[in-house]
Amino acid sequence: MNKQNVKTKLKPLGDRVLLKRLEAEESVKGGIILPDSAKKKQEKAEVVAVGTGKKDKDGNSVPFSVKVGDCVLMEKYSGQEVTVDDEEFIILSADDIIAIVE
């Protein structure tokens, strides 16, 4: 994926984050190959871009907890799925990210 292309075409606003869902495993323990329709949607994703951030009550910028390139876990049904140049992305609030995977 060319991250630079995505950034110039789709920039999240405010406290939103642009994610690329990481691919789910292709097979299960016994070596059975799963079709796309049977795969569980993965809640693990890579941060592609971050918005401008939000302000606290005094007008100071609140820093993001994540940065571009981080692998994160997100709420299962959160965000808005979008397609750019045949690639699927998710835009969601930074509050819907529940952990950084190290």
Domains of the chain: 3-101 (2.30.33.40)
Pair of tokens at residue 39: 């795969």
Please give the residue that has the higher pLDDT: either 2 or 66: 66
pLDDT-derived band at 77 (thresholds 50, 70, 90) equals: confident
How many Å apart are CA 53 and CA 40, to the nearest integer? 31
Provide CB contacts within 8 A for 22, sequence distance 6+. Answer: 42, 44, 45, 46, 71
Mean pLDDT of all residues belonging to the chain = 81
Residue 59 pLDDT exceeds 80: yes
DSSP 36: G
pTM of the shown model: 0.74
pLDDT of residue 92 exceeding 90: yes
Q: How far apart are CA 43 and CA 102, in angstroms?
A: 15
